[in-house]
Structure 1
Amino acid sequence: MVSVIMPCYNSQKYISSSIESVLAQSVTEWELLIINDASTDNTKDIINDFSKRDPRIKVFHLEKNSSAAVARNIGIDNAQYKHIAFLDSDDLWLPEKLDKQLSLMEKRNMPFSFTSYYVINHEGKVLELRKAPEIVNYDKLLNHGNEIGCLTVMYNRERFQNYRFNEEIRIHEDYKMWLDMFENVDTAYAIEEPLALYRVHAGSKNLNKFRSLKWNWLLWRNYQKQSVISSLIISLRWIKNKVVQRLTVKKLNTSRNNSLTFPSVDQKSVY
């Protein structure tokens, strides 16, 4: 049913938990393609061990470090199932994630879907809830910035057979991919229920908002061919949205234990 693509680089600290969140899915017909982007830590041994214990897990080892875009494209090129989903090696899914998305897409005959998600810290504590907009189209995605979490996306590979991540882009390569896709999709619908957990830590590449704005500007100008004035307007709107997001973000009750746990799969696979 679903080909799950997981790029990884020096991910020994979190990748076991990420893999186990796939193993814990209520849907069992999936394959997990892990692309090791020339890691120098113990990542290679960890993913090799998982692949030996579950034939649904397939690993690819790159000889030189490339990028998440390159790794994801290798995953797409080797995918066997109709649907594609993405999960980075430090993020997590809730157990019903694949099941609920597949049900929605089949019911509505949708080629693309995404969900809300939690933001967690390096310890797994929930920091905030990021609600997905109910619907997204090309204009909204272009003019309001990327509101689609890559870890929540699922799309029909047959509908988007020739689409790949732009390997020239080091940050926001997923945003560019969605913009390309949405030029041929009228509307995409979200599952507003949070079904994934996005981890922020010192190594998170989107942590710096000024850097993020710079890369967005380059994307709008160089790839989407927006004028300077148009890019400036979009940038100001993006800044406003980020400020509003900060002010209105739904903080979870920190007085309770807000770390999430997952169903046990194979305790021997915990590193």
Structure 2
Amino acid sequence: MVKNKLSIIMTAYNVASYISSSIESVIAQTNRNFDLIIVDDCSTDQTQKIIRSYEEKYDWISVVCHKQNAGVSAARNTGLASADGDLVTFIDGDDWVEPDYVEHFLSKFEDYDVDMVTCGFFNEGENGKVKNKVSSRQTSIVGRDEAIKQIIRMTGTVMGYTWNKAYIRSIITDNNLRFQTDLDLMEDQVFNVEYATVARQFYLDNLPLYHYISRKDSITKRFAMENVRDVGVARMKVYKAIRDSTRKEKDQME
């Protein structure tokens, strides 16, 4: 049973206007059994200055700065390389979380023998207006097939995001899982499917604890044509991960 620390990996790139709110929401957590690793992907604004000020103030915050801009996948990989918690999750530097975000993940891993725990989320515009429908509380423990089905869905409360999920770090390291640095889109879905193929049980919960802020200058809106290529490549990688896992299971049964 996993009872130990959660490592939160926060990625940041030119988010000086938002990063303080994101960090403050982590500081406000009710459960203190975590550390925060902030990876700055070579920001050109005041982001680095802001996160360094927090690092100086709190001994459980550490900052890693890329010397060259390498993208969010590389930043998450850098965070994983620095993490030492038994569990790991991810937060984007321009989003924020509810005070019991950490408590939710730690308590569910303690109460249930599972390899992944999810939470729900608010999809908000920059004006704070919630875009998605938040439904009544639903929880379930599911196997691999159902988890993958929920991860690759384009709707729902699970989907391919990493910031509404917590993972067992040893599963990531033992299976050499990494984010694909050649994708600017859906890299998180590929990671989640690859993780799911080597995991067993999943605790799915739609309790909304993460605030995803949909911004006008987001990558999904900036590069519409390039996205077509990334979606195609990501889907192929997802298909390959599922196919390889199915073959491995068949080989083990023979």
Q: TM-score range by the shorter chain?
A: 0.7 to 0.9
- The structural deviation recorded for 1:209 is 11
Q: Distance in 2 between matches of 1:172 and 1:27?
A: 31
Unaligned runs of 5+ in 2: 242-254
Which residue of 89, 93, 96 corresponds with 1:85? 89
What is the alpha-carbon distance in structure 2 between the residues aligned to residue 186 and residue 216 of structure 1?
27
Contact 1:37–1:65 (CA under 8 A) maintained in structure 2: yes
Tell me the equivalent position of 2:245.
none
* Candidates 27, 30, 35, aligned match of 2:31: 27
Q: In percent, how many aligned pairs have the same letter? A: 25
Match of 1:141 among 144, 148, 151: 151
Query: Displacement, 1:202?
Result: 1.3
For structure 1, which segment, 74-83 or 160-169, has the greater mean C-alpha deviation from structure 2 after superposition?
A: 160-169
Q: How far, CA to CA, are the matches of 1:49 and 1:193 in structure 2?
A: 32
2:17 alignment partner in structure 1: 13
Aligned pairs (5 A) from 1:109-258? 109-129=113-133, 134=140, 135=142, 136-142=146-152, 144-145=153-154, 147-161=159-173, 162-207=176-221, 215-221=230-236, 224-225=239-240
Give the counterpart letter for 2:31 in structure 1.
V
**Could you tell me whether the CA contact under 8 Å between 2:113 and 2:201 is conserved in 1?**
no
CA RMSD of aligned residues (A): 2.4
- Comparing 204-213 with 172-181, greater Cα deviation is found at 204-213
Q: What is the SS of the residue equivalent to 2:178?
A: coil
Give the partner amino acid of 2:74.
V
CA contact (8 A) 1:113 1:188 kept: yes
How far 1:124 sits from its partner (Å)?
2.9
> Which is worse superposed, 172-181 or 117-126?
117-126
Query: Is structure 2 residue 100 aligned with structure 1 residue 96?
Result: yes
Post-superposition Cα deviations, 1:180-230, rounded to whole Å, max 9, x if no partner, equal 11112244222221011000011222347966565323222356349xxxx
Local SS of the residue matching 1:151: coil
Indicate if the aligned counterparts of 2:8 and 2:88 stay in contact, CA closer than 8 A: yes
Deviation at 1:40, TM superposition (A): 0.4
Q: What is the DSSP-based 3-state SS (H/G/I as helix, E as strand, rest coil) of the residue aligned with 1:127?
A: coil
3-state secondary structure, aligned to 2:117: strand
Match of 1:73 in 2: 77
Unaligned runs of 5+ in 1: 227-271
Residues 158-182 of structure 1: CA distance to partner in whole angstroms, max 9, x if unpaired? Answer: 2222211111111111101001111
Provide the aligned length of Structure 1 versus Structure 2. 225
- 2: CA distance, partners of 1:186 / 1:137: 10
* Distance verdict in 2 for CA 1:180–1:222, change over 3 Å: closer
Cα distance, 1:133 vs structure 2? 8.3
Helix, strand or coil at the partner of 1:155: strand
8 Å Cα contact 1:137/1:186 also seen in 2 = no
User: 1 CA distance for matches of 2:223 and 2:12?
Assistant: 23
> CA shift at 1:24, angstroms?
0.6
Determine the C-alpha separation between the residues in 2 that align with 1:225 and 1:130: 33
